[in-house]
Every structure is written in structure tokens, then in C-alpha cells.
Amino acid sequence: MSEASENEESPAKKRRGVGNAVSKMKVARLKGEEFVTTSGVLVEQKTTGPECDCRNKCTSNFTEEQKLKIVSTVYSGRPKNERDTYLIGLIDRCDVQRHRSISPHSKQLSSSFKYNTVVDGKKFEVCRKAYLSLHAVTSKVVFRLTSILTKGEQPMDMRGRHGNHSKIPNEV
């Protein structure tokens, strides 16, 4: 009887809770909510950033409720590819109107961008700093999205994917 009881207990010896904590963190990260990492670091909830300093005062045109609604639209738990597609849809690519050559060896920009935000089904043009602030994204994210937009590609989540895996030689 002791052997039968040992067999029943062996599945209960599995380590539980770690995978659950990781999946909870993943869901919280997708929704932009506050969570604590497995190492104990507190990650703050996604909120709007500072006000823009432009002459149009883009961020002051929206109420706090509208700003929170914009952030919740971006971080509604959708996957990263869908979120990037939504954010790219709010960026318009334009040709550069005037090329100013600073030096003969300088690289000319091929595109300029206009940034928009959607509030209550209406599209409003905002400055870059307001776009970053209202959508709670970093400048690095927008740079990646604009380069994808310039190339005409679809955004793809490449996290965890790389080509430099350890390879086994064919001779072995």
C-alpha cells in the first residue's frame, strides 16, 4: 500500500506557482497594469506622460478621462502585433517637402510623419511628443514603427526569436 500512496504523491511534488506568476505578469504587461516581477521589482501601471511643449498644446486639448481612455485602448490586453498595427494606423507617412543639405555627406531623410490619436471615434492630429505621452510608448517604439511603415512591412513580434542557435555539425 505504501507503493501506491507514493505513486499518488509524485505528481503533487511538481513545483507550482512559478508558471502561474509568469502568466499573470504576461497578462498584466499586455493590459498595462501594475505588477511585481519574480525578482520582486514593481512595474508601474501604464499612464500618460508629461504635457507637450508645442505651440498647439496638444495634450491639454484632452481631459484626463480621455487620456486614460486612449491608454486603455492601446493596452486593452491585445497581443503586441495587434497593438503595433493599431499604433501604425495612427501614423501618416509624408514625403519630405524641403531637403536642407547641411553637409555634402549628410544622409537625406526620405519621409516625415504626422501623428494622430483617436478620441470618441474622431481623429486628432498631435505632435510627436504628445503621441508618445498619450499612448504611453517610448521614442524607441515609435522609431521602430516608423521604420516598419517606411519599408511597407507588417509589424511582427520578434521577441525570443533569433537565428544564432547552437548548431550541431553534420559530421557528427
Model confidence over 97-132: pLDDT tens digits?
Answer: 877 777 777 777 788 999 999 999 999 999 999 999
Residue 23 lies in a domain: yes
More confident residue, 140 or 30: 140
Taking the model in full, what pTM does it have? 0.75
Q: Which domain holds residue 143?
A: 47-97+110-156
pLDDT on residue 126 = 95
- Termini Cα distance of the chain: 48
More confident residue, 105 or 89: 89
Query: pLDDT tier at 164 (50, 70, 90 boundaries)?
Result: confident
Residue 6 lies in a domain: no
Residue 161 lies in a domain: no
pLDDT on residue 119 = 93
Residue 81 lies in a domain: yes
- What DSSP element (H or E) covers 147? helix 139-151
Same domain, 66 and 151: yes
Q: CA 114 to CA 40: how far, in whole Å?
A: 40
pLDDT on residue 27 = 87
Same domain, 145 and 70: yes
Same domain, 65 and 37: no
- pLDDT exceeds 90 at position 66: yes
Same domain, 64 and 31: no
Same domain, 52 and 35: no
pLDDT on residue 12 = 59
Burial call 93-110: b when 16+ CB within 10 Å, e when fewer: eeeeeeeeeeeeeeeeee
Q: CA 14 to CA 97: how far, in whole Å?
A: 63
Same domain, 56 and 35: no
pLDDT on residue 19 = 67
Number of structural domains the chain divides into? 2
Phi, psi of 36 (to 5 degrees): -110, 130
Instruction: Render pLDDT for 8-63 as a digit per residue (tens, 0 to 9).
Output: 555 556 655 556 888 888 888 888 888 898 889 998 888 888 898 899 998 999 99
Integer angstrom CA distances of residue 54 from 90, 91, 128, 164: 19, 18, 10, 44
Instruction: Render pLDDT for 126-138 as a digit per residue (tens, 0 to 9).
Output: 999 999 999 999 9
Residue 76 lies in a domain: yes
